[in-house]
Amino acid sequence: MDKMPRWADILLVPLISLILAAAISALVILAIGENPWNALKIMVTGALGSTYAWGYTLYYATNFIFTGLAVALANHARLFNIGAEGQAAIGGLGVALVALYLPWPHWTLALLGATAAAALFGAAWAAIPAFLQAKRGSHIVITTIMFNFIAAALLNYLLVGPLKPSGTMETATAPFPPSTHLPSFQDMFSTADTPLFRGTPANVTFFVAVLLCVLVWLLIWKTRLGYEIRAFGFSEGAARYAGIGATKIIMVTMLISGGLAGLMAINNTMGEAERLILNAVEGAGFIGIAVALMGRSHPLGVFLAAILFGFLYQGGAELSLWTSIPREMVVVIQALVIMFTGALDNMVRMPLERLFARRTRSTPLAPPGPTLHPPGRMAPPSTPAAE
């Protein structure tokens, strides 16, 4: 069967899935006695109606860009990295160590050091499951999800023990020095006459995330390594026959994926909390799976899907605040979006593929034009194959 155009795969399938999720969500809201249209207006206003709303939406979206890119890159090698949650948490440990124990004269240098530490710690946490997959055949899904729990236990031990400052009961490190504080959107865009993004956690890390979208696109589609990753994902056997080493691709892909997940800690640990706290990731690693699936593992799709989930998070918080819709119902709405864009993807994709295939077969082909031959030469005789 002919496949549908690339644009339809990237844009049309997620759009229809999103519309279906919105329709089911409206029925759920109607069933509990609320007005779906009013709920939608509250979500849109709460997530997009002011710079304050945009500040929170973009803050959540920044987290989801990092984890979405991590999952998307691994998907290209057909490696399902469910460990972005733990990798982001361990990345936060790296950020805390360099922010607390190294002197930084300015936030720009601190950002570079934290970026390197977060990527290194996240990659190191992903390296163990990658090695087990490459050398021992352990399934990457099982090992990465187990390492999420190990990362949580490790941070719990460190934050109630070695990294906990004396005289406090909170499971968090000491605050980072002022020289490591990243500029927020309020600092960057507000003026004395026009305060913008007041009190929101959005910060300069958003632009780091956007830059990473471009770099990941260049890596996947413009480099030899990206070609090898995609070839390995399409067919491991063919990639091996072409001389592409499975161990190398698994290790390198998971190291980069873990590093991308670890970089999320720049936003939530260094940019927002300005210290390492327990459970700082707050499920963003798992949301990254939905973001990568909805974005078709393309950096542009990941960016757009991250904005959508940032909208759902911030709009959902406003919805539970200003209506009688419980927070659990907001989680149901988010789950419906994930279900339709991920688990029920083929429910939309297969009818569209049949529709485009039917249109392709029904389109008449243009008759071939006359064949011109050089003067003095005869046309070759026709053959059955040519006829």
CB-based burial, 28-49: b 16+ in 10 Å, e otherwise: bbeeeebeeeebbebbeebbee
Mean predicted confidence (pLDDT) in 1-18: 76
By 3-state DSSP, what share of the chain in percent is helix, strand and coil, each rounded to 5?
70, 0, 30
Mean predicted confidence (pLDDT) in 342-369: 74
Only one residue has tokens 């504080």, namely: 181
Tokens of 125: 């946490």
* d(C-alpha 203, C-alpha 8), whole Å: 34
Cβ proximity of 145 and 82 under 8 Å: yes
- Higher pLDDT among residues 348 and 38, named by residue: 38
pLDDT at position 368 over 70: no
Residues 76-131: tens digit of each pLDDT: 999 999 999 999 999 999 999 999 999 999 999 999 999 999 999 999 999 999 99
pTM: predicted TM-score of the whole model, two decimal places: 0.88
Q: How confident is the model at residue 367 (pLDDT cuts 50, 70, 90)?
A: low
Instruction: Give the pLDDT score at 363.
Output: 62
Beta-carbon contacts of 138 under 8 Å, excluding residues fewer than 6 positions away, are: 129, 132
